[in-house]
Amino acid sequence: MATSHRDRCAIAGIGTTDFSRASGRSELTLVAQAALAALEDAGLTAQDVDGIVRCDMDNVRHNDLVDVLGIPQLTYWSEVGPGGVAPPGMVAQAVAAILSGQATTVLVFRGLNGRSGRRFGQSALSEQRVGGAGSYDELFAPYGLVTPGQIFALMARRHMLEFGTTEEQLGAIATTCRARANDNPAAQMHAKTLSMDDYLGARLIADPLRLFDFCLETDGACAVVVTTVERARDLRQPPAVIRAVAQASTADPQPGIQFPTLFRESITSLPATAVSKVLYERAGLGPEDIDVAQLYDCFTITVLMQLEDWGFCEKGEGGAFAASGAIGLGGSLPINTGGGHLSEGYVHGMNHVLEGVRQIRGSSTSQVPGAETCLVTATPLPPGSGLILVADR
């Protein structure tokens, strides 16, 4: 398969707000701040933007930003979802728009008041009768299965049953991400260390998952600017070249967004199995070529399964791989170097894209020396997306 988009576009600018539990600002203000920061980082202004890609769950729309930022004219906009699988897919839309001549400079963003506004960990079900209309909630919610954390708890238990995965192995992921956050002043958990004893001593939420197996709740926004590599070379920052992007589904994703995924043939792997195959092929790279990875970490078990499904170890060995130190700084595959969703903040996959760019620029607070390839994944439950960034050579 010829990959016509390989190495042709780049992320030229990144911008973020602070990450907090109570921003005191509207989501529109957060996104506008992140977008302006990304443009400033690239040496561009709102005058230069002609494309916008958003996440389907964002409350901020393209026309909001056109008006608030003073973008003269958009010639392209689109959205990707559901939710957390979007960010690399959003960058993929930007690449497609640019290479098809529909836009030259695309703003990609995600912003949410994830703690002070609607909280993901709370059941959204407020009716006495639930389900119908294609949601399939009627087969799940009446049994008390009402949150993503409970789904991943069932998957984690099954992974333990099939492969002997342990709580300590999940804990190795939580403590590794926390150590990266301790190095990152922008991380929500920057000042709080996490030992294995802390991890194991924390309260159970949905067993076998404990408090620190869950990602943070965050108010914040992140944005990136995508343009051609040629143009990015003339801008303020060294380009983070987009080696390849991919969205991919499996043959049995199940309808809906999350609960029916428990009826897939396997609940110990994720659609990362499909996304990884397509992305590696498009990139002409394999897991052995990845210097550093930002793996979507709504929960620790999500990371553990992705270590397997992205080919960094065999199926069933994700726990041992994580506990070996391989995912730490200095390991064979340092992950989530800003602290990830578990400890930096939960901007629904988008902060992972920014951290990937920092690694390619050499500006991460947990910089992997000489990193030239960074994988960014967004492969939790639904069919997902991923991208590989490389240094400009």
Interface ranges with another protein (CB under 8 A): 121-123, 125, 128-134, 136-147, 150, 153-155, 157-158, 161, 203-209, 254-256, 260, 262-263, 265, 267
Of 203 and 393, CB closest to another protein = 203
Q: Pick the closer one to another protein by CB: 187 or 205.
A: 205
Minimum CB separation of residue 166 from another protein in Å reads 16
Quick one: 146 or 275, whose CB is closer to another protein?
A: 146
Considering the complex, what minimum distance in angstroms separates the CB of residue 164 from another protein? Answer: 12
State in angstroms the smallest separation of the CB of 253 from another protein.
Answer: 11
| Encoded tokens for 351 | 């902060």
Instruction: Single out the catalytic residue among 76, 136, 199, 346.
Output: 346
Per the annotation, the verdict on 280 as an active-site residue is no
In whole angstroms, the minimum distance from the beta carbon of 302 to another protein comes to: 15
Identify whether 296 is a catalytic site residue: yes
| Integer angstrom CA distances of residue 70 from 16, 44, 65, 125, 130 | 19, 13, 8, 38, 42
Minimal distance in Å, beta carbon 252 to another protein? 10
- Which residue in 76, 136, 199, 296 is the catalytic one? 296
For 49-62, b/e burial (b = at least 16 CB within 10 A) is bbbbbbbebbbbeb
In the complex with another protein, which residue's Cβ is closer, 151 or 354?
Answer: 151
Q: How far is CA 350 from CA 194, 224, 377, in A?
A: 24, 9, 10
**CA–CA distance, 238 with 151 (Å, rounded to integer):** 41
Q: Residue 13's closest CA among 178, 198, 235?
A: 235
Expressed in angstroms, the distance from the first to the final Cα of the chain is 24
Query: Which of residues 119 and 236 has its CB atom nearest to another protein in the complex?
Result: 119
Inter-axis angle of helices 167-182 and 300-309, nearest 10: 100
**How far apart are the C-alpha atoms of 111 and 60, rounded to whole Å?**
8
What are the catalytic residues? 296, 346
